[in-house]
Structure 1
Amino acid sequence: MIGRMSESTPAPAPPPPPEGTAPDGRERARPAPALPRPAPVTGRTIGWEIACVLALSLGASAVYAVISFTGALTAPGSLADQSANLVAPRAEAERPWLDLSRQTASLVFAFAPVALVLFLLHRTRESAATIGFDLRRPGPDLLGGAALAAAIGLGGLVVYLVSWRMGLTVTVAPSALEPHWWQYPVLVLQAVKNGVLEEVIVVGYLLLRLDQLGWSPVRAILFSSVLRAAYHLYQGVGMFFGNLVMGVVFCWAYKRWGRVMPLVVAHSLIDIVAFAGSVALIGKVDWLPGG
C-alpha cells in the first residue's frame, strides 16, 4: 500500500542582513550626515565678524601702537630721539639662515587674516572680486596704483621729515636687517604683505561690511582712516595725521574705482621705495634721519 506523501516543510527564511550591509553581505555605504544650514546673516553677525577680524589683525596692531606711543611719550627725551624699526632681524647676525626662516614664516602667516576675510566673503556668496581684489584689470590697476603711490609717497616723505624736525615723530628705520643676499627680497615681500593686508582688510572688506550695516560713506571712511592712523601711531603724531590723510584718499579712490587692487599696488610701491631707499640712503645723505 502506497502511503500518502508527506507535505514538504518550507525551508526557514534566511536571517536579515546585519544593519548597514546589503543583501549580498557587502557593507552598505552610509549616507553622509546632513550639513547644518548656516545661520542667517544679521547686523549683529556682521558686527561680531568685523570685531573678530580686526582683533586678529590690524585692530590688535592699533592697540599695540597706542601702548607703544604712550611708552615713547613717557620716556626721557623727545620723540625724535627715539627710533622704531619696521623690519627687524629675528636671529643673530651670525645665523642668517635662521633669520631668513623666521622672516619667511612670519610673512606666510601674516596673510592668514586676508585668507580669513576672503573665506568670510565666500560664505556670504561674495568673493575677492566683490572688492576688486583680482587680476581682471592689470593695466589700469598698475597705472592707477603708480599714480597714487607717487602722490601719497612724496607727501608722506614731506610729512615725515617736517614732523621729525619738529620733534613729533620718532626716527623711523624701515629696515634693520643685516646685509645678506636675501635682504632685498625680504623687504620687497614685506612691502607687498603690508599692501595686501592693510588695503584688503581696512579698505575693501571693512567698507563693504560697514555699508552692509547701513553706515554712511563718510562715517565708514572716517572709521577706516582713523583705524589706519591708529596702528601707525607708534611712529609719532606726525605720521598719525599723515596716515589719516592717506586713509581718506585711499578710501575715496576705492569708492571711485570700486577696486582695492590699485590701492594694493600703491601701498606696495610706497613701502618698497621706503624700505629699499632707507638701506641705500640712510647714513649717506644728511637730510634723511637715522644716519
Structure 2
Amino acid sequence: MPRVSADVPAAAVPGAGAGTPPVSGAAWRRRLTVEVWIVLGLSLGRSGVYAVVTILDRVTRPEALGAQTATLNPSRADRPWLDLTYQLLSLGFALVPVALALYLLSAQGRSALRRIGLDRARPGRDLLVGAGLAALIGIPGLGLYVVGRLLGVTVEVRAAALDAAWWTVPVLLLSALQNALLEEVVAVGYLVERLRELRWGPVATVAASALLRGSYHLYQGWGPFVGNVVMGVVFAEYYRRRGRVGPLVVAHTLMDAVVFVGYALVPDDIRTSLGLS
C-alpha cells in the first residue's frame, strides 16, 4: 500500500511505509467512503433499504397501518431440531458484518475491540451505564409504541413467534445479543470512527448514525422510526463523547431481551387482552 501525504496519518493506511509513492488525502477518503458503503450494503444499510420499501408497501395498502403486523424471531421450520439449526445459523451469519467491521478497524494489528470500547477494561461500569441507558431509552420507547398503536401509525409488533421448546428462551437471548452487537458495532462504533476519519462534523456524524438506525426499523411504522432515531442520537453522542460501545451493547441486549422473552412468556390470552397478538 503506498504511503499517504501529510494530511492523512500514515498509521491509518495498512502497509504504509517509507519509500512508497504518496497517496493524497482525498484518494484515501474516497477509499474509506467506498468501504463504508460496502459494509453498510452487506448489513444495516441493506436492511434500511428493504425497510423503506416495506413501509411504502404498507402505507399504500387498503388496510390501515395500525391493522398490520410485523413478526420478529419467527419459527423457521416445523420440526424443533431443524428450527433450532436454522435459528443458530441465522444468528451466526448475521454476525459476519460485525467481524468485518472489527477487522477493518484493526489496521496494523491495532485492537478493534479496544479502539471502540468493546473490551473488558470496565465491565462493572459498562454494566451499570448500560442498565441505566436501557431504562432511559426502553421505558419511553414502550410508551411511544403504545401511543403509536393508539394513533394507528405503528404496526402490531409480535416480538417472538417461536414454537415452545427447551431452547426458545436461550435463542431469544442470543437474538437480543446478536441484534445489539450488529447495530452498536456497525451503526455506532464502526460508522462513527469512519466518519470521523472522513472529517465529518459531530452533528452530521450523530445524525447519520441515528437516521441509519431509524431507517431499518421503518417496517414497524412511524412510531418505531422516530423512537429509534432518538435512541440513535443518544447512543451515537454517548459513543462520540466516551468512546465505548460496550455500555450500548449491554443496554440494547437488555431492552431486546425483556421484549423478546417477556413476549414469549406472556400467555396468549393475556397478550390478546392487551392487544399484543
- Bin of the TM-score, shorter chain as denominator length: 0.7 to 0.9
For 1:183, which of 168, 184, 197 is the aligned residue? 168
Specify the alignment match of 1:97 in structure 2: 81
Equivalent residue, structure 2, for 1:107: 91
Contact 1:131 1:260 in 2 (8 A): yes
Higher helix share: 2
1:165-214 C-alpha deviation (Å, 9 max, x unpaired)? 10000000010100111110000000000000000010011001001100
Structure 2 length-normalised TM: 0.88
Distance in 2, Cα, partners of 1:160 & 1:236: 10
Percent identity (aligned)? 49
Measure, in 2, the Cα distance between the counterparts of 1:171 and 1:283: 16
Q: Is 230-239 or 128-137 further displaced after alignment?
A: 128-137
**1:172 maps to which of 157, 161, 167:** 157
Question: How far, CA to CA, are the matches of 1:104 and 1:56 in structure 2?
Answer: 19
CA displacement at 1:280 relative to structure 2:
2.5
Matching residue within 135, 141, 148 for 2:126 = 141
Residue 73 (structure 1) aligned with residue 59 (structure 2): yes
- Whole-angstrom CA distance in 2 between matches of 1:254 and 1:233: 24
Q: CA deviation at 1:123?
A: 2.5
5+ residue gaps, structure 1, are 1-35
Trace 1:203-282 onto structure 2 (pairs within 5 A).
203-281=188-266
The answer for unaligned runs of 5 or more in structure 2 is 1-13
Give the Å deviation of 1:290: 2.3
- Give, in whole Å, the separation in 2 of the partners of 1:164 and 1:234: 14
Kept in 1, the 8 Å contact 2:192–2:240? The answer is no
Q: Distance in 1 between matches of 2:34 and 2:274?
A: 43
| TM-score (norm: length of structure 1) | 0.84
Q: CA deviation at 1:256?
A: 2.7
2:66/2:152 contact within 8 Å kept = yes
Displacement of 1:248: 0.4
Number of equivalences: 254
Q: Give the AA of the match of 1:120.
A: L
1:96 Cα deviation from its structure 2 partner: 0.6
Q: 2:275 maps to which residue?
A: 289
| 1:62-101 Cα shifts (integer Å, max 9, x gaps) | 0010111111111222111110011101112xx1100000
Counterpart of 1:104, as a letter, is L
Root-mean-square deviation (Å): 1.7
Cα distance in 1 for partners of 2:82, 2:272 equals 34
Which structure: larger Rg? Answer: 1
Contact 1:161–1:288 (8 Å) recurs in 2: no
Report the CA distance between 1:102 and its aligned residue.
0.5
Partner of 1:44: 30
1:229/1:288 Cα in 2 relative to 1: closer, same or farther (>3 Å)? Answer: farther
Equivalent residue for 2:107, pick from 101, 123, 133: 123
